[in-house]
Amino acid sequence: MMMCLSAPDNRTSQHPNASGAIMVGVSMTLGIISNIVALFILVNAYCLQRRRSKATFLLFATSLVVTDFFGHVIPGALVLRLYISRNASTEDVHSTGGMCQFLGGSMVFFGLCPLFMGCAMAAERCLGVTKPLLHSSLVTKTRGKVCLSVIWLAALTVALLPCFQLGSYTYQEPGTWCFIQVFNSTKEAAPLRTSDVAFVVLFSGLGLTSLAAALVCNTISGVTLVLARLRRRPGSHHSAKSHDIEMVVQLVGIMVTSCICWCPLLILTLMSAIRSYSEPSESGLCNYKTLMWMAVRLATWNQILDPWVYILLRRTVLRKIYLIAKCQAGLGGTVLRRWEPTSFPSSGKNEVKQV
């Protein structure tokens, strides 16, 4: 009596509904607009920035937005094509054609890149906040570009593993998207291959590890900045820390967004593969398939929400939020005075004078 909600009958796989195509089109439009606006803001800030550590952060942030842009447009265009042409018939749902391989590889590549970049940015800021002298001697624009190249290459290597028979991509129900094979192809099929499960473990493990590392680094950075502000004596000279606050707040926003959007898919992918490997029967996996379909839709929102972190959590916006919070708190307090809004615009000026 149990029935998969994502594909209640064969007609669902044969004829993807029009509302799905409209949803994909709207999602692509939002993603394109959001990423273009964020890219304009970041490029403008990068051109005006004189602080080296901030420039390195903006280089990573700009690369992340560009990656999100292509990661939203390329897979989205392929999914939209499947909806419009309705190629995913019952006979094709389990095929491994070139389009499916490219779509699956794109989802893995553009899924891992933002997670790797978020981890690298968090580690860079953690080093800059806790060990500024070491950071100034180690972190350069050239090394930042090398790090970005390594991240893209690592994600591409993982995405291409199925080309060497290490894992595989297949159409997922309702037949409008391709991803790592985590279920048996048919009810009578043998369990997943060991290489398929290993590929799933590698993908999910890398993603979850990146999120955990970013959480640790951002926590250390945040605690260090808060303690530095609380220990500063009232009336003492401001240290140029507003740029650190801005970057750490943005990194926390990126991390929270990534956790919300990607953790369900990463965890469900791992659980589904293990369940399907240990229990070859189709029974009991319908709920996993439904949840997987919902999780991948949630993951696609990561490329839409990431740009808004840079749009909304800029220094000028943070200063306005501070002023509103200060008014709500009663315009005073020793703790609040240590977070004066003048530190946000003044730190840049102090830095220029030092240069």
Domain-embedded: residue 270: yes
Average pLDDT of the residues of the chain: 76
| 0.85 surpassed by pTM | no
The tokens for 239 are 């240290």
Would you call the peptide bond into 174 cis, given omega within 30 degrees of 0 as the criterion?
yes
Residue 282 placed within a domain: yes
Q: What residue numbers bound the domain in which 299 lies?
A: 20-87+95-183+192-231+241-327
Residue with tokens 């240290």: 239
- CATH assignment at residue 288: 1.20.1070.10
Q: Which amino acid does the sequence have at 234?
A: P
* Model confidence pLDDT, tens digit, residues 296-316: 888 888 888 888 887 877 777
79 lies in a domain?
Answer: yes
Point out the least confidently predicted range of 45-59, 79-93, 138-152, 247-261. 79-93
Instruction: Report the C-alpha gap between 203 and 107 in whole angstroms.
Output: 11
Instruction: Provide the domain count of the chain.
Output: 1
In a domain, 82, yes or no: yes
Q: What is the number of other CB atoms lying within 10 angstroms of the CB of residue 343?
A: 20
Specify whether the CB–CB gap between 224 and 217 falls below 8 A: no
CA distance linking residue 67 with residue 61, whole number of Å: 10
Q: Is the pLDDT of residue 120 over 60?
A: yes
With cut-offs at 50, 70 and 90, classify the pLDDT of residue 20.
low
Top mean-pLDDT range of 72-81, 141-150, 313-322, 343-352:
141-150
- Tell me 135's DSSP state: H
- Determine the straight-line distance between the first and last CA of the chain, rounded to whole angstroms: 72
Amino acid 177: pLDDT: 81
Domain membership flag for residue 3: no
Closest CA to 65 of 141, 121, 123: 121
DSSP letters spanning 88-100:
--TTTTT---HHH
Question: Is residue 102 classed exposed, middle or buried when 0-12, 13-18 and 19+ CB atoms within 10 A define those classes?
Answer: middle
Report the pLDDT value the prediction gives residue 192, as an integer from 0 to 100: 66
Q: Is the pLDDT of residue 72 over 80?
A: yes
Mean pLDDT of 168-189: 72
Structural domain includes residue 1: no
Read off the pLDDT of residues 154-174 as tens digits, 9 standing for 90 and up.
999 999 999 888 888 888 777
Confidence of residue 184 (pLDDT cuts 50, 70, 90): low
Asked if the structure places residue 48 within a domain, the reply is yes
**Is the confidence at residue 191, as pLDDT, over 90?**
no
Within-domain flag for 257: yes
